[in-house]
Amino acid sequence: MIKKTLKILSSVVAAVVMGLSVTTAHAATNFEGETVTIVIPFKEGGGTSRMFRFFQPYLSKHLPGNPVIQLQHMPGGGTIKGGNFFHENQNPDGTFLLATSSSVNMQQATGNPLAKFDLLSYEPVLSVATTTHWVTHSHLADGPNDISGLLELPVALFPFKTAASADLFHLWIYKALGVKGARPIPGLSSSAGYQSFQRGELQMASHGTSNFLKTVSQDIADGKVHQFMTLGVLQPDGSVQRPSYSPDAMTFPEMYEKVHGKVLEGDERAAYEVIAANWGPASKGLVLPTDTPAEIVNVWRGAIKKMTEDTDFIEAAPQNIGPFPVVIGEDVRGIIGKAVDLSDASKQQFNDAIAHYKLTYRIQ
């Protein structure tokens, strides 16, 4: 079923480009003989690394002069090391960029004083959405879209990196659903956490779109696990849609209403929308340094547009980045703004969740 869905999506998905504002760039911009460095503030092999490794050959192909595209992985400090390195070494000649993610966003959104970077000051090139899928073991659920077993467990363990990363959203999600037995196991990456879940050591796990399609969907097909929820895809009009490749799974607002018998609204709805922005349209991004000349910015945006129109890219994109459009240009700035500019009410929502799990981190 998943393969069939991906085949259908491959003909339509990756070529969709939203918010495009690209002017004809001056012919003098040429990267022939250059090496373009994209700073990845994670270790090799993670979701951001995999996405930009997929982009690598297409960027080289469609940028003028066909430069070498180099990924510089720089993990550390929950993305702060790589983010600060980019900020302190900005070169606005078009050969130095930063790959962003929800974890990078959160360092700025939570007011971490160690984060020197300012995502809103950079020149946005692209963003790519994803969504999040939650699963539990088949023996703990009466089929898909069921968390009754989890609600009854005295202890329900889930993987958790740190409260300083976007994983803090998991704390809010489980608290908002009323999973009283939920307990985080800190220090586990998404991949390590899912492996632990597969071994039966954890009762709940989650993954973004890419790993869901590659790994989790097969476990669902094999009957080992049940998907009980997705985050949902937040639309510009405020509505929430189910992912096209997982149309039968409840979204978080639907699960919230099922559990509590009321609509998600008020401060909780606002907090959800912060999460939906970070794990949605602002999940992955690419930015150029502050003060990069408009000509170079437009060359990059034009190259991304050509990439999304490349027939090889269109065919391969669903299996590698999921069935979401690549957003190009100035619309990306607004998307990042929604992810990093938290209201006081949303900060309080997340701080309450952190305190609920007796963690010492606080959002400023």
Residues 34 and 116 occupy one common structural domain: yes
For residue 87, the domain's CATH number is: 3.40.190.150
Judge whether 362 lies within some domain: no
Tokens of 5: 């869905």
Buried b (16+ CB within 10 A) or exposed e, 301-330: bbbbbbbbebeebbeebbbbbbbbbbbbbb
pLDDT tops 90 at residue 55: yes
**Cβ-contact 198, 192 below 8 angstroms:** no
Share of the chain above pLDDT 70, in %: 93
Residues 83 and 163 occupy one common structural domain: no
Q: How far apart are CA 15 and CA 134, in angstroms?
A: 28
Share of the chain above pLDDT 90, in %: 72
Q: CA-CA-CA-CA torsion for 309, 20, 239, 349, nearest 10 degrees?
A: 110
How big is the chain by its Cα radius of gyration, in Å? Answer: 20
Residues 112 and 143 occupy one common structural domain: no
**Cβ-contact 93, 241 below 8 angstroms:** no
Query: What is the pLDDT, as a whole number, of residue 16?
Result: 43
Buried b (16+ CB within 10 A) or exposed e, 25-40: beeebebeebebbbbb
Q: State the chain's mean pLDDT as an integer.
A: 90
Position with higher pLDDT, 7 vs 184: 184
Judge whether 271 lies within some domain: no
Residues 104-135 pLDDT 10s: 998 999 888 999 999 999 999 999 988 999 99
> Mean pLDDT throughout 301-321?
94
pLDDT tops 50 at residue 19: no
- How far separated are the first and last CA of the chain, in Å rounded? 45
Q: How far apart are CA 137 and CA 143, in angstroms?
A: 10
Which helix or strand (DSSP H or E) is residue 137 part of? Answer: strand 132-137
Judge whether 110 lies within some domain: yes
Q: Mean pLDDT check: name the lowest of 30-44, 52-66, 328-342.
A: 328-342
Residues 118 and 193 occupy one common structural domain: no
pLDDT tops 60 at residue 13: no
Judge whether 290 lies within some domain: yes
Query: What is the pLDDT, as a whole number, of residue 27?
Result: 55
pLDDT tops 50 at residue 244: yes
Judge whether 30 lies within some domain: yes
pLDDT tops 50 at residue 10: no
Residues 331-344 pLDDT 10s: 899 889 889 989 99
Of the candidates 311, 301, 322, 321, the residue with the CA atom closest to the CA atom of residue 18: 301
pLDDT tops 50 at residue 359: yes
Residues 98 and 184 occupy one common structural domain: no
For residue 188, the domain's CATH number is: 3.40.190.10
Residues 148-199 pLDDT 10s: 999 999 999 999 988 878 899 999 999 999 999 999 999 998 889 999 999 9
Residues 29 and 102 occupy one common structural domain: yes
Residues 118 and 159 occupy one common structural domain: no
**Cβ-contact 101, 165 below 8 angstroms:** no
Q: Mean pLDDT check: name the lowest of 128-142, 329-343, 348-362.
A: 329-343
> Mean pLDDT throughout 230-238?
88
Which amino acid belongs to residue 82?
G
Residues of the domain holding 17? 2-129+281-329
Judge whether 174 lies within some domain: yes
Judge whether 137 lies within some domain: yes
State how beta strands 17-18 and 233-234 pair.
unpaired
Residues 239 and 255 occupy one common structural domain: yes
Residues 57 and 137 occupy one common structural domain: no
Residues 22 and 168 occupy one common structural domain: no
Judge whether 64 lies within some domain: yes
Q: Taking the alpha carbons of 166, 172, 174, 180 in that order, is the dihedral positive or negative?
A: positive
Residues 170 and 317 occupy one common structural domain: no
> Mean pLDDT throughout 196-205?
97
Query: What is the pLDDT, as a whole number, of residue 23?
Result: 41
What phi, psi does 118 have (nearest 5°)?
-135, 100
Q: How many domains does the chain have?
A: 2
**DSSP string over 240-295:** EE--TT-TTSPBHHHHHHHHHSS---HHHHHHHHHHHHHTTTTSEEEEEPTT--HH
pLDDT tops 60 at residue 313: yes
Confidence of residue 14 (pLDDT cuts 50, 70, 90): very low
Residues 122 and 185 occupy one common structural domain: no
Query: What is the pLDDT, as a whole number, of residue 12?
Result: 36
